[in-house]
Copies of this chain bind each other. A is one copy, B any other.
């Protein structure tokens, strides 16, 4: 029986050179807070000034909040929200990678709501429903990976409690997103690889999630095919607008999958990892866990796992039937290698084997919801087993 909700209200403006559309699109106000990372790339590349100038052409003043770090934290959400209030901003622009856009969403929420951000989170948070919708958000991604431009989700870390938790509601769907692949040409190879693999897993997991629906299946299939084809090319030569465009669409399509279907517990495991070790890029964490995780699933959901092999272009039919569900895992290993990610090791990021039981517990406690849409029951022992198999 086919039952689903389809909802993705964000207007996506996609294509090379579309950034300039920011000067003409109707804006949700006349004062914006532009949120960028602390790294400084948005300034160095001139994108921040370009965005502020386009907003100004559109009759909109802007302030800047530029302290966001990779694996963004609650303190910066609260600080950015205080700035948005004091500067009387009508809306928030997230410019950059997933950290900046997710922070923009969370800042938009806290600029309009009382209390602390964690009052509204799960895990050890208060779990309260925010009384007010978030301020409107505009997303301008400069990496192809997060998909946050096409979903309501924002992932913020509470360093004090070691929790990295995803959250969203209808008000945190961006009002519109501009996906201009020309902004992605200068992304360095390692970031291209990490973010591209994040998008790859969004699509993969949305296809496996029990809440999949026809539209997410179609988009996931296309995203997996495009990323398998174009990610290695973009890692090795990031300057080609055409391959960057394919990757940008794949990433946004995988983001739509996040709105229509869901991630599964692979993401819960990674959130535990990067909550404990904030220096692990999200995509790297997923990559390090992935072979152990999907090998485990292959036994339990053979049909959809076999499809994933087809989507990656594997000649699945030439394999004996019992080996078909694992074809995807082998193709994944090859994709990782082609993207220069074969040698990633948890131990290189300082993860100790003795941490693994705590990580397994955290994965289920902080992001337990995703286990409910995972197509196989995974108790704490099974999660620990995956962590141990993935550990190197």
Contacts and interface: CB of A to CB of B under 8 A. Distances in A.
Contacts of A3: 14-16, 18
Contact of A16 (B1, B213, B245, B253): B1
Given A214-B249, A214-B253, A6 B2 contact: no
A308 B14 CA distance: 26
A14 B8 contact: no
A25 to B, nearest CB: 10
Contacts of A214: 222, 249, 253
B15 A6 contact: no
A135 to B, nearest CB: 18
A215 B11 contact: no
Contacts of A15: 1-4
A337 interface: no
A219 B12 CA distance: 17
A42 B15 CA distance: 45
A244 B249 CA distance: 33
Nearest to A245: B2
A26 B231 CA distance: 42
A249 B14 contact: no
A106 B100 CA distance: 41
Nearest to A250: B214
Contacts of A1: 15-16, 245
Interface in A242-267: 245, 249, 253, 256
A358 interface: no
Contacts of A9: 8-9, 11
Interface in A1-57: 1-16, 18
Given A2-B15, A2-B249, A5-B13, 9 more contacts: A3-B15, A3-B18, A4-B12, A5-B14, A8-B9, A214-B222, A214-B253, A215-B253, A218-B222
A265 to B, nearest CB: 25
A207 to B, nearest CB: 14
Contact of A5 (B2, B8, B11, B219): B11
Contact of A14 (B2, B11, B14, B245): B2
A245 to B, nearest CB: 6
Nearest to A150: B6
17 contacts: A1-B15, A1-B16, A2-B245, A2-B249, A3-B14, A3-B16, A3-B18, A4-B12, A5-B11, A5-B13, A6-B12, A7-B10, A9-B9, A14-B213, A215-B218, A215-B253, A218-B222
